[in-house]
RNA sequence: GCGGGUGUGGCGGAAUUGGCAGACGCGCUAGAUUUAGGAUCUAGUGUUUCCAACGUGGGGGUUCGAGUCCCUUCACCCGCACCA
């Protein structure tokens, strides 16, 4: 009987469901292992081959750990709020909830067809009011702690569509849908003060077992820089000051001009009448530029002189104040002291506008370029002769003593723009009262449900479609009779995914986000696997919320995800990213139908390292299927019975026994560190060996099938039952190897002359250096090779080699 | 430009602390078998001028010995984008 994957896979998937094989027990006394996949967004397009890669990796870990005696938490759920459902609703008038439900059903069916060992009783859905109740609850905690505030910030407003667009919906300043112009318009938005946690988000990265690249990306994103704030007085304006931020306060003596960002609010006050038209013109030019043009590094510097002068506090010199778009209003204080001698950008600007360049750190050639390195300070008064570090410290002391500046840390990280002008998101539980005050929806009234509506349409005002739903919007506080209007903004998609891993731990809890005892039992996540595209935002937001919850005593750990692994992308057969337009998309459903889920799982793990980008190969997937067929033929007869190669008490050669124990060792070790490709290679090697045997003992057949089972669970269950077991292989114990069987008594040693292999010797393990040397020099072949030469040196490494250096 | 990463056969990829380069798979070749097929089994398969030499993007170095360490250079991928 051939290996019929359709029948077998369906059978075991039903068995697992019926027997609740993968149910997680909170009260077991086994050690815990929490292995988590990144929350999928159930798009209408369904699963692509990238999904099963990460999911298979975590599933292998989950299945192996269960067999190794761990209580495993391996859940899945749906990050189901999001733009596509809303757009679908706007286009068709249908309820996004229905659309989402269908998509989830499709996704679930696809995921189930791959045989992942999820505990489906813990399935989550961010759009479920019982779930988003707690998303809203967390928001209220943030609000109470002063970490949620509202502010006027510019958004992408499309007047023609009457709506606000996300950045990705704006292409070249036009709306993606319809090509209407989009303008930046300040609107009141909810912000979360993630910057208050910047230092902790940065520092706690050190203890995480994450890829360096991801940690580095987060560090860069947070962008902490240490320097000083310096206040410059403005000539002729006694009450005005400009504060600049600099990382190089030691170069203050070299500040020969000052630059304000074109949006800086002081400009109108200080600009001289003669310069006003030039400044206005420049600001108009800058405003007309797209973000892309403004940030184009290749362009030359532009700017305009305001006519005003600032006073350099350290030497009292007058320096001209310019405006230029190379200074960003969003960073630091939106103003800089320009030190053209020691900053590339300032140098470029000064050269273009003929501003003076003064050397204050020796070591460079200022006629050619700015010198940004370290060196002795010159032309710097009390700093002369000092190096960079001492000079910075001394200058900060001076600034503090003269009350014109201080040490200062700034971050690139901005506060999190938390509101979206959307219907399909968690409602923000805030009421704007008619007296202008804000009132939080009482916790006991949560969840604040999204109102059902027949027709979702833009409000036209920039508010979300919720603004149309008068019944929902207008509220009266019962105690006071005061009227109010609900917040029409909803939360971004990041909200629900910032804490879902906590809810899996206690998904049906009505009283709390999750039981503290259970959180203590399960946190933190031992292994988190997902795509690198979430390297910054999702992982940073989740860490931020987690720290807030930690401070509130809700969660027991400082960090949510102890170990993080990014699966690499699966490319098309042409080594390019899969895309519809390139026609190189592989649909996992097709593979499951043609080759089976086990084959797909096996192949995706065998393709290469989990974190590398790897191209798909048609013949490669065939090869993986062939391996499973080979296993099947080995263990199962054409009548569907257990093959006679398996004999309970078969004796095998010492060599084969060794191969078995080596396989157990290598597979166990490789899977543990997620080197699935090499572990699978070892399984293949073992099967190649088995093909050379007449009989193998049942114990080894069972051991092998156990090793295979996390990767290819369906075929493994089937063979396991043919081996005479009436319980799932999942309930069996992971095999252990006998180290004694791996001990080599004799090993082959290579003998090199000048690093080239000239002979091989079989010696007892542990043969001493001297002995090896003697044996090597006594070897006939070696003697012959050395006949014309004189020996300079002999290096002998026990159990490895002898290298003879000769001339 | 800055930060991170990757370069190994025809292809995907293996290779502890520096110690037999190319495990395993694909592809290819040959043989066997068969109801002749995109099946199966067995063997072979880095290159070349094949008793040997060369070979891990290029160049240089350290070392008895380098895919692995150091310097330099090139190519590609990912992230950031004038962050003062």
Any idea how long chain A is?
807
Which nucleotide in the DNA or RNA is closest to residue A337, CA to C1'? B84
The nucleotide lying nearest A228 (C-alpha to C1') is: B84
* A789-804: pLDDT as tens digits: 778 888 888 888 888 8
Total Cβ atoms within 10 A of residue A751? 23
CA distances from A84 to A89, A108, A454, A464, A548 (A): 9, 18, 18, 15, 30
* A120-141 CB burial, b ≥16 within 10 A, e <16: bebbbbbbbeebbbbbbbbbbb
Query: Of A67-71, A308-312, A386-390, A498-502, where does mean pLDDT reach its minimum?
Result: A386-390
- The span from the CA of A706 to the CA of A734, in Å, is 6
Three-state DSSP class for A290? coil
C1’ B60 / CA A750, Å = 30
CA atom of A795 to C1′ atom of B65, Å = 10
Whole-number pLDDT of residue A294? 64
Highest-pLDDT range among A92-101, A409-418, A710-719: A710-719
Gap from A757 CA to B54 C1', in Å? 15
Contact call for residues A680 and A709 (beta carbons, < 8 A)? no
Three-state DSSP class for residue A567: strand
Integer-rounded Cα Rg, in Å, for chain A is 34
Rounded distance between C-alpha atoms, residue A8 and residue A16, angstroms: 12
Assess contact for A717 and A12: CB atoms under 8 A.
yes
Query: Would you place residue A605 in the very low, low, confident or very high pLDDT band (cuts 50, 70, 90)?
Result: very high
Nearest residue to B77 via alpha carbon and C1':
A613
A781 has a pLDDT exceeding 80: no
| CA–CA separation, A469 and A477 (whole Å) | 18
Nearest nt (C1') from A259 Cα: B84
Distance of CA A625 to the CA centre of its chain: 32
For residues A533 and A147, give the distance between their C-alpha atoms in angstroms, rounded to a whole number: 26
pLDDT at A179 over 80: no
Q: Which nucleotide is nearest, taking the CA of residue A324 and each C1'?
A: B82
d(C-alpha A114, C-alpha A601), whole Å: 8
For range A627-640, the mean pLDDT = 91
Sequence ranges of the binding site of A: 580
Q: Which nucleotide is nearest to A297 (CA to C1')?
A: B82
User: Which helix (H) or strand (E) is A102 found in, with range?
Assistant: helix A96-113
Cα–Cα distance measured from residue A360 to residue A378, given in angstroms and rounded to the nearest whole number: 5
Give the helix/strand (H/E) hosting A417: strand A416-417
- The secondary structure of A438-488 as a DSSP string is EEEPPGGG---PPPP-S-----SSSS-GGGG-HHHHEEE-TTT--EEEE--
Smallest CA–C1' separation from A346: which nucleotide? Answer: B84
DSSP class of residue A490 equals: B
| Distance in Å, residue A449 CA to nucleotide B7 C1' | 54
| Nearest CA among A137, A84, A134, A102 for reference residue A423 | A84
Q: Round to a whole number and report the distance in Å from the CA of A506 to the C1' of B9.
A: 53
| pLDDT at residue A298 in the model | 55
What is the percentage of chain A residues whose pLDDT exceeds 90?
61
Mean pLDDT of chain A: 90
- pLDDT classification of A774: cutoffs 50, 70, 90: confident
CA–CA separation, A568 vs A732, rounded Å? 32
> Residue A113 CA to nucleotide B27 C1', Å?
31
Task: Give the β-pairing of A570-571 and A614-615.
Answer: parallel
Q: For residue A647, list its beta bridge partners.
A: A697
pLDDT at position A801, please?
A: 83
Tokens of residue A5, six digits: 């994957």
Residues 6+ apart with CB under 8 A from A128: none
Amino acid A655: pLDDT: 87
From A304, A306, A300, A310, select the one nearest A257 (Cα to Cα). A310
Burial of A680 (0-12, 13-18, 19+ CB in 10 A): buried
Nucleotide nearest to A302 (CA to C1'): B82
Tens digit of each residue's pLDDT (9 = 90 or more) over A228-283: 999 999 998 888 899 999 999 999 999 999 999 988 989 999 999 999 999 999 98
Nearest nucleotide (C1') to alpha carbon of A577? B77
Closest residue to B15 (CA to C1') is: A678
Residue A527 backbone dihedrals phi, psi, to 5 degrees: -150, 125
Q: Residue A411 — left, alpha, or beta (φ > 0 → left; ψ -120 to 50 → alpha)?
A: beta
**Distance (Å) from CA A344 to C1' B83?**
14
> What does the block give as tokens for A7?
């029948």
Sign of the dihedral defined by the CA atoms of residues A13, A14, A19, A25, in that order: positive
Please state, in angstroms and rounded to a whole number, the distance separating the CA atoms of residues A139 and A541. 13
- Strand B positions closer than 7 A to protein CB: 1, 3-5, 11-15, 17, 19-21, 23-27, 38-42, 53, 64-66, 77-84
Whole-number distance in Å between A757 CA and B52 C1': 13
Helices (H), A3-49: 5-19
Using a 10 angstrom Cβ sphere, with 0-12 exposed, 13-18 middle and 19 or more buried, the burial of residue A238 is exposed
Enclosing H/E stretch for A139: helix A129-144
Instruction: Identify, with chain letter, the residue nearest to nucleotide B5 (CA–C1').
Output: A213
Under 8 Å between Cβ of A171 and A466: no
Measured CA A622 to C1' B3 distance, in angstroms = 40
Identify the pLDDT of residue A641.
87
Query: Which residues have C-beta within 8 Å of that of residue A358, sequence separation ≥ 6?
Result: A253, A254, A256, A340, A341, A379
- Predicted confidence at residue A749, as pLDDT, reads 81
CB A48 within 8 A of CB A588: yes
Average pLDDT of the residues in A745-770: 80
C-alpha–C-alpha distance, residues A32 and A611, integer Å: 25
> Measured between alpha carbons, how far is A284 from A305 in angstroms, rounded to an integer?
15
In tens, the pLDDT along A42-95 reads 988 888 888 999 999 999 999 999 999 999 999 999 999 988 888 888 888 888
Query: Residue A719 has which token pair?
Result: 């063979």
Q: What percent of chain A has pLDDT over 70?
A: 98
CA A681 / C1′ B10 distance in Å: 21
Predicted pLDDT at A180: 79
A292, pLDDT greater than 80: no
Distance A331 CA to B83 C1' (A): 6
Averaged pLDDT for residues A596-605: 95
Q: Please give the protein residue whose CA is closest to the C1' of the nucleotide B24.
A: A681
Q: Inform me whether the pLDDT recorded for A635 exceeds 70.
A: yes
CA of A504 to C1' of B12 (A): 37
d(CA A429, CA A449): 10
CA dihedral A335, A338, A342, A343 (to 10 degrees): 50
Q: Which of A260, A263, A339, A265 is nearest to A307 (CA)?
A: A260
Annotated binding-site residues of A for ATP read 580
Residue A594: in which H helix or E strand, if any?
A: helix A588-594
Has residue A218 got a pLDDT over 70? yes
Residue A549's contacts (CB-CB under 8 Å, 6 or more residues apart) are A138, A141, A499, A502, A555
What does the pLDDT read at residue A791?
Answer: 81
Helices (H), A491-571: 494-497, 500-503, 516-522, 537-551
User: pTM of the predicted model, to two decimals?
Assistant: 0.92
Distance (Å, whole) CA A52 – CA A45: 15
Distance A239 CA to B74 C1' (A): 58
Whole-number Å distance between alpha carbons of A502 and A550: 12
Tokens for A258? 């000052």
Q: How far is the CA of A130 from the C1' of B5 (A)?
A: 42
DSSP string, A233-300: EETTEEEEEEEEEES-GGGGGG--EEEE-TT-TTHHHH--HHHHHHHHHHHHHHHHS-HHHHT-TTSP
Q: Which nucleotide is nearest to A792 (CA to C1')?
A: B64
CA distances from A193 to A143, A369, A414, A687, A689 (A): 10, 40, 8, 57, 61
Is pLDDT at A174 greater than 80 in this prediction? no
pLDDT at A296: 61
Per the structure block, which two tokens stand in for A107?
């996704």
A71-73/A77-78 β-pairing: unpaired
Mean pLDDT across A431-442: 92
DSSP A767: -
Q: Closest nt to A691 (CA→C1')?
A: B41
Quote the pLDDT of residue A453. Answer: 83
CA–CA dist A612, A461 (Å, integer): 47
Query: Which phi and psi angles does A420 have, rounded to 5°?
Result: -130, 145
Asked if residue A687 lies in contact with residue A627, where contact means CB atoms within 8 angstroms, the answer is yes
The predicted pLDDT at position A132 comes to 96
Nucleotide nearest to A681 (CA to C1'): B24
- Across A341-357, average pLDDT: 92
pLDDT, residue A724, reads 93
**Strand, coil or helix: A757:** strand
Q: A722-734, pLDDT tens digit by residue? A: 999 999 999 999 9
């Amino acid at each position: 009987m051939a290996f019929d994957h359709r029948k077998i896979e369906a059978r075991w998937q039903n068995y697992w469901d019926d027997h609740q094989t993968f149910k997680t027990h909170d009260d077991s006394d086994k050690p815990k292992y929490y292995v988590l996949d990144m929350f999928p967004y159930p798009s209408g397009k369904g699963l692509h081959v990238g999904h099963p890669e990460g999911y298979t990796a975590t599933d292998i870990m989950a299945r192996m750990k269960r067999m190794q005696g761990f209580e495993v938490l391996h859940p899945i759920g749906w990050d189901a709020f999001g733009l596509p459902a809303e757009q679908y609703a706007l286009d068709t008038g249908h309820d996004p909830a229905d659309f989402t439900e269908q998509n989830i059903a499709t996704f679930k069916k696809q995921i189930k067809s791959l045989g992942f060992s999820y505990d489906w009783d813990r399935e989550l859905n961010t759009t479920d009011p019982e779930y988003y109740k707690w998303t809203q609850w967390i928001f209220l905690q943030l609000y109470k702690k002063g970490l949620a505030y509202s502010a006027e910030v510019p958004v992408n407003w499309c007047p023609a569509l009457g709506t606000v667009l996300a950045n990705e919906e704006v292409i070249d300043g036009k709306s993606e849908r319809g090509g209407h112009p989009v303008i930046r318009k300040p609107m009141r938005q909810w912000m979360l003060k993630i910057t208050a946690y910047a230092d902790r988000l940065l520092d706690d990265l050190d203890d995480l077992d994450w890829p360096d690249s991801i940690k580095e990306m987060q560090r860069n994103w947070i962008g902490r820089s240490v320097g000083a704030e310096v206040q410059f007085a403005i000539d002729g304006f006694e009450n005005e000051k400009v504060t600049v931020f600099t990382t190089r306060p030691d170069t203050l003596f070299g500040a020969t001009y000052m630059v304000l960002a074109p949006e800086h609010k002081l400009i109108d006050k200080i600009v001289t009448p003669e310069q006003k038209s030039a400044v206005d013109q420049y600001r108009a030019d800058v405003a007309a530029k797209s973000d892309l043009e403004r940030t184009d590094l290749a362009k030359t510097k532009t700017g305009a002189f305001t006519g005003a002068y600032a006073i350099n506090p350290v030497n009292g010199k007058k320096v001209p104040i310019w405006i230029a778009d190379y200074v960003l209003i969003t960073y630091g204080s939106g103003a800089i002291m320009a030190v053209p001698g020691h900053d590339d950008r300032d140098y470029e600007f000064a050269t273009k506008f003929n501003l003076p360049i003064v050397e204050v750190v020796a070591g460079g050639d200022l006629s050619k370029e700015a010198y940004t390195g370290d060196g002795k300070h010159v032309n710097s008064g009390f700093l002369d002769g000092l190096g960079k570090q001492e000079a910075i410290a001394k200058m900060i002391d001076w600034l503090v003593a003269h009350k014109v500046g201080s040490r200062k840390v700034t971050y690139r990280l901005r506060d999190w723009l938390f509101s979206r002008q959307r219907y399909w998101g968690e409602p923000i539980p805030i009421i704007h009262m008619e007296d202008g005050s804000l009132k939080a929806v009482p916790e006991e009234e949560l969840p604040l449900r999204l109102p059902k509506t027949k027709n979702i349409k833009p409000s036209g005002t920039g508010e979300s479609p919720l603004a149309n739903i008068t019944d929902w919007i207008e509220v009266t506080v019962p105690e006071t009779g005061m009227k109010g209007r609900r917040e029409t903004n909803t939360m971004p998609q990041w909200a629900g995914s910032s804490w879902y891993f906590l809810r899996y731990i206690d998904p049906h809890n009505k009283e709390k986000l999750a039981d503290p005892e259970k959180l203590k039992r399960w946190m933190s996540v031992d292994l988190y696997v997902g795509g690198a595209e979430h390297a910054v935002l999702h992982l940073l937001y989740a860490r931020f919320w987690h720290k807030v919850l930690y401070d509130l005593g809700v969660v027991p750990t400082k960090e949510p995800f102890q170990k993080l692994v990014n699966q690499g992308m699966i490319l098309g057969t042409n080594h390019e990213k899969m895309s519809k337009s390139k026609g190189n998309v592989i649909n996992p459903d097709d593979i499951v139908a043609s080759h089976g889920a086990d084959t797909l799982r096996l192949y995706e793990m065998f393709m290469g390292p989990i974190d590398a980008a790897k191209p798909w190969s048609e013949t490669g997937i065939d090869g993986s299927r062939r391996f499973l067929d080979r296993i099947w033929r080995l263990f199962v007869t054409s009548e569907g019975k257990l093959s006679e190669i398996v004999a309970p008490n078969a004796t095998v050669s010492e060599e084969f026994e060794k191969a078995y124990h080596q396989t157990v060792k290598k597979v166990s070790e490789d899977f543990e560190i997620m080197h699935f490709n090499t572990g699978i290679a070892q399984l293949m090697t073992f099967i190649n060996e088995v093909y050379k045997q007449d009989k193998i003992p049942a114990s080894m057949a069972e051991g092998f099938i156990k090793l295979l089972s996390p990767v290819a669970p369906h075929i493994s269950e089937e063979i396991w039952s043919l081996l005479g077991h009436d319980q799932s292989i999942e309930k069996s114990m992971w095999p252990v190897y006998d180290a004694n069987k791996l001990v080599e008594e004799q090993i082959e040693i290579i003998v090199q002359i000048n690093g080239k292999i000239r002979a091989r010797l079989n010696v007892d393990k542990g043969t001493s250096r001297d002995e090896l040397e003697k044996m090597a020099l006594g070897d006939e072949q070696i003697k012959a090779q050395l006949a014309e030469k004189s020996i300079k040196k002999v290096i002998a490494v026990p159990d490895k080699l002898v290298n003879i250096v000769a001339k």
